[in-house]
């Protein structure tokens, strides 16, 4: 049976779910929710009307500056460290500023921050102060206002200059702190609570933006009121939490607390029934984070909707298991104008719908069938994933570390090739693919040795024929002088072809030798030290430094191929190092292995060749000099083979100073063979 039919049979198991019963339960739950929401909204509107009838003091304006409660003493120094707990609720000030207000029992604190990268500085007493960056502060008492100019040419204490005549009850001078940084400036000051301010105005002037330098945005002051909280506590129901907010969501008063244990019945459903309720019935619950925190402002869509004159209701999760909380926000209106928002919250652990035993039985039966179907699906999916994982692992193991594609087939056939479903077809396709790719890979791996074997005889014939021809011509003195360069070039070309064929055969032998190297536990420090001592006589007048770690560096590796790779690196570095240059061989430990670096003074590597240096038959040496022995480009290829045999990598880079090149051989420990 194929997978499509299996999946169809498994999907048919889910048809046993009583979908119609579940929809009926959801409809009943929605009706009960609507009834509770309407009842709570009616209570909230009654409390809101009572607040208006009793003459509770509410903000007369729908906008105002909110004064938060200072949790700790604030030091007036012009820095915002003491304001960090209140910063999330900063209020916008113009287009580039923000304002924070706080109070304690004695003082009213003000902190204004303005973003301005281009500053025009002047003190408040200077003649051009109104054309520089400045703040205009307006204090209001009993409907009267007095303005003050705040400006400074340098950070530090600032004395505000009054712009209006003296007014009884308001100070003549204000002391503040002015601080600056690269993004703008900050102004901090405090005022005695004894002033009994009822309004405050602020204006920010930026010379680059222009405008009225004396413009002030005046707003009333809003703050949490204990008197209003007492009035709210007398009017709100005792089993609810009530919060009175400004139209913008600022907290003005609160009373009560959520009682999630109220209404708990003896037949209250347990944790399983509550889980069913949350998963299937109460899936429209909102997050509770902002509702439950005692924050100075609730910036929520429900509060904004009520501030616009339309009530809103939301359900959310309670803090304890099996509890839900219903919250409603209604506008508090006086003379047709919204003066505040009343938020009522009621918590309940009673789930009346699930308390009905008949409906609970229906739900339990439905979930029982669902669990059975889910178990079948889980078992089927688990088996399918295990089979696919086995197929993936087999594909990974099919390739050996040396590039051959017959790693798995040495142990038998590809797994699951006998299965009659689609995975079996896929396994058979993989097996056929790996057989084809493996054969082609073996052909490519042996192509070099085959070509070298086939080309040896024709090259020998050409070389011997060329020698005989040159000897015969010399015996008869018949070699023209203009033909001599062509004979030399022909002989050099044949020599190069012979060396190339020998290199192709040597490359195949080296690959097999490196792959067959046996690993052992060695101290790499001694291997590198021995190589360095052997290289010193070969360096001639060049300086050779050897940098080794202080402690032994043990690694399970093949030391002979590593020494061979270092020989190739040294030979390559020596050919590019000036006669009075320097070389540096270093060894250091890295995560899980070691890193050997050979740096030399010389010309930098071309950018186009850095990614091809370690390929076979690639060389940077001059190939155009006739008569010289050709360089075959196998040295760095051997280095790469040794690194890959040790699960590492070989790389090359130019030194930072541009005076040389560094070749790096990164090695990892080889796996230990099991006996």
CATH number assigned to the domain comprising residue 651: 3.30.565.10
Strand partners, 92: 98
CA 31/CA 25 separation, integer angstroms: 10
Q: Which of 509, 531, 557 is the last residue of a domain?
A: 509
pLDDT at 57: 62
| Residue 343 φ then ψ, to 5° | -110, 120
pLDDT at 480 over 60: yes
Residue 523, domain member (yes or no): yes
* Residues 244 and 209 occupy one common structural domain: no
* Residues 527 and 652 occupy one common structural domain: yes
The least confident of 24-33, 169-178, 357-366 is 357-366
Bigger pLDDT: 362 or 213?
213
* Residues 296 and 343 occupy one common structural domain: yes
Residue 405, domain member (yes or no): no
**For 231-251, what is the mean pLDDT?**
88
The least confident of 32-36, 248-252, 584-588 is 32-36
Residue 559, domain member (yes or no): yes
Strand partners, 556: 521
Q: Which of 509, 528, 549 is the last residue of a domain?
A: 509
pLDDT at 138: 94
**For 431-437, what is the mean pLDDT?**
81
pLDDT at 146 over 90: yes
The least confident of 47-61, 159-173, 239-253, 493-507 is 493-507
Number of domains in the chain: 4
**For 87-94, what is the mean pLDDT?**
91
* Residues 204 and 241 occupy one common structural domain: no
pLDDT at 350 over 80: no
The pTM for the full model equals 0.51
pLDDT band at 410 (very low <50, low <70, confident <90, very high): low
* Residues 236 and 204 occupy one common structural domain: no
Bigger pLDDT: 558 or 607?
558
CA 329/CA 342 separation, integer angstroms: 6
pLDDT band at 253 (very low <50, low <70, confident <90, very high): very high
pLDDT at 390 over 60: yes
pLDDT at 619: 55
CA 636 vs CA 512, 546, 565, 629: distances in Å: 17, 21, 8, 18
The least confident of 7-16, 189-198, 463-472 is 7-16
Residue 476, domain member (yes or no): yes
pLDDT at 194 over 70: yes
Identify the CA nearest to 231 among candidates 55, 43, 44, 46. 55
pLDDT at 90 over 60: yes
CA atoms 262, 263, 264, 268: torsion sign: negative
pLDDT band at 265 (very low <50, low <70, confident <90, very high): very low
Spatial strand order in the sheet of 593-601: 543-547, 582-590, 593-601, 660-668, 649-654
CA 42 vs CA 37, 291, 325, 349, 612: distances in Å: 9, 20, 16, 21, 80
**For 401-418, what is the mean pLDDT?**
66
**For 628-641, what is the mean pLDDT?**
66
pLDDT at 202: 94
pLDDT at 448: 63
pLDDT at 643 over 90: no
pLDDT at 635 over 90: no
Residue 369, domain member (yes or no): no
* Residues 498 and 623 occupy one common structural domain: no
User: What is the three-class DSSP state of 164?
Assistant: coil
Residue 4, domain member (yes or no): no
Q: Which of 474, 509, 544 is the last residue of a domain?
A: 509
* Residues 293 and 207 occupy one common structural domain: no
pLDDT at 219 over 60: yes
- Residues 531-550 pLDDT 10s: 999 998 888 889 999 999 98
pLDDT at 343 over 50: yes
* Residues 573 and 632 occupy one common structural domain: yes
By residue range, what is the domain housing residue 147? 65-223
Here the CATH number for the domain that contains residue 488 is 1.10.287
Proportion of the chain above pLDDT 90, given as a percent:
27
User: What is the three-class DSSP state of 577?
Assistant: coil
pLDDT band at 92 (very low <50, low <70, confident <90, very high): very high
pLDDT at 465: 80
Q: How far is CA 344 from the centre of its chain?
A: 40
The least confident of 292-296, 431-435, 504-508, 554-558 is 504-508
* Residues 581 and 610 occupy one common structural domain: yes
Q: Tell how strand 593-601 and strand 554-557 pair up.
A: unpaired
* Residues 87 and 196 occupy one common structural domain: yes
pLDDT at 263: 46
Residue 106, domain member (yes or no): yes
Residue 409, domain member (yes or no): no
**For 78-94, what is the mean pLDDT?**
91
Q: Token pair of 134, please? A: 């400045």
| Residue 188 φ then ψ, to 5° | -135, 135
**For 332-338, what is the mean pLDDT?**
86
Here the CATH number for the domain that contains residue 192 is 2.60.40.1190
* Residues 217 and 232 occupy one common structural domain: no
pLDDT at 383: 85
The least confident of 29-43, 116-130, 153-167, 480-494 is 480-494
* Residues 37 and 122 occupy one common structural domain: no
Q: Tell how strand 582-590 and strand 543-547 pair up.
A: parallel
pLDDT at 402: 52
3-state SS of 96-116 is CEEEEEEECCCEEEEEEEEEC
- Residues 109-119 pLDDT 10s: 999 999 988 88
The least confident of 69-83, 348-362, 577-591 is 348-362
pLDDT at 356 over 70: no
CA 139/CA 194 separation, integer angstroms: 13
Q: What is the mean pLDDT of the chain?
A: 80
């Amino acid at each position: 049976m194929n997978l499509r039919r299996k999946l169809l049979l498994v999907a048919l198991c889910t048809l046993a779910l009583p979908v119609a019963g579940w929809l009926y339960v959801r409809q009943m739950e929605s009706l009960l929710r609507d009834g509770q929401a309407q009842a709570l909204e009616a209570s909230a509107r009654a409390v809101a009307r009572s607040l208006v009838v009793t003459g509770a003091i509410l903000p007369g304006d729908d906008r105002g500056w909110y004064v938060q409660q200072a949790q700790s003493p604030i030091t007036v120094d012009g820095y915002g460290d003491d304001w960090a707990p209140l910063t999330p609720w900063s209020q916008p000030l113009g287009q580039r500023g923000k304002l924070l207000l706080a109070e304690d029992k004695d003082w009213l604190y003000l902190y204004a921050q303005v973003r301005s990268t281009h500053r025009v500085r002047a003190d408040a007493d200077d003649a051009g102060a109104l054309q520089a960056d400045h703040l205009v502060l307006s204090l209001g008492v009993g409907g009267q206002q007095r303005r003050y100019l705040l400006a400074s040419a340098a950070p530090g204490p600032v004395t505000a200059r009054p712009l209006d005549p003296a007014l009884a009850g308001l100070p003549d001078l204000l002391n503040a702190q002015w601080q600056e940084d690269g993004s703008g400036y900050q102004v901090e000051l405090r005022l005695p609570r004894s002033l009994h301010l009822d309004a405050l105005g602020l204006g920010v002037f930026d010379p680059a933006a222009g405008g009225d330098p004396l413009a002030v945005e005046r707003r009333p002051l809003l703050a949490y009121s204990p008197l209003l909280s007492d009035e709210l506590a007398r009017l709100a129901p005792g089993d609810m939490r009530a919060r009175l907010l400004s139209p913008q969501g600022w907290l003005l008063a609160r009373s009560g607390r959520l009682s999630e244990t109220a209404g708990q019945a003896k037949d209250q459903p347990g944790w399983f029934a509550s889980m069913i309720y949350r998963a299937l019935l109460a899936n429209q619950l909102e997050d509770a984070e902002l509702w439950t925190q005692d924050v100075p402002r609730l910036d929520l869509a429900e509060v904004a909707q009520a501030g616009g004159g339309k009530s809103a209701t939301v359900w959310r999760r309670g803090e304890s298991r099996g509890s839900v909380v219903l919250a409603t926000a209604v506008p508090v209106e006086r003379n047709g104008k919204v003066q505040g928002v009343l938020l009522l919250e009621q918590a309940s652990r009673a789930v009346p719908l699930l308390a009905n035993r008949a409906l609970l039985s229906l739900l339990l039966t439905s979930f029982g069938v669902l669990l059975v179907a889910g178990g079948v699906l889980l078992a089927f999916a688990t088996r399918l994933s295990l089979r696919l994982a086995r197929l993936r692992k087999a594909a990974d193991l099919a390739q050996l570390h040396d590039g051959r594609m017959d790693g798995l087939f040495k142990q038998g056939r590809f797994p699951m090739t006998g299965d009659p479903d689609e995975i079996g077809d896929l396994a058979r396709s993989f097996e056929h693919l790996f057989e084809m790719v493996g054969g082609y890979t073996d052909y490519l791996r042996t192509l070099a040795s085959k070509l070298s074997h086939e080309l040896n005889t024709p090259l020998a014939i050409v070389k011997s024929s060329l020698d005989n021809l040159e000897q015969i011509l010399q015996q008869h003195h018949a070699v023209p002088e203009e033909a001599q360069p062509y004979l030399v070039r022909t002989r050099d070309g044949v020599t190069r072809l012979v060396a190339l064929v020998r290199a192709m055969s040597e490359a195949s032998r080296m690959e097999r030798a490196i792959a067959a190297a046996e690993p052992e536990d060695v101290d790499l420090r001694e291997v590198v030290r021995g190589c360095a001592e052997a290289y010193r006589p070969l360096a001639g007048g060049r300086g050779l430094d050897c940098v080794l770690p202080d402690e032994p560096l043990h690694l399970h590796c093949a030391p002979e191929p590593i020494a061979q790779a270092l020989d190739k690196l040294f030979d390559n570095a020596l050919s590019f190092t000036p006669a009075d240059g320097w070389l540096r061989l270093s060894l250091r430990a890295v995560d899980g292995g070691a890193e050997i670096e050979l740096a030399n003074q010389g010309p930098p590597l071309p950018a186009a060749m850095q990614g091809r240096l370690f390929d076979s038959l690639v060389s940077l040496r001059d190939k155009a000099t006739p008569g010289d022995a050709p360089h075959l480009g196998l040295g760095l290829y051997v280095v790469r083979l040794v690194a890959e045999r040790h699960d590492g990598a070989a790389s090359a880079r130019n030194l930072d100073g541009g005076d040389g090149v560094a070749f790096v051989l990164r090695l990892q420990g080889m796996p230990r063979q099991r006996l």
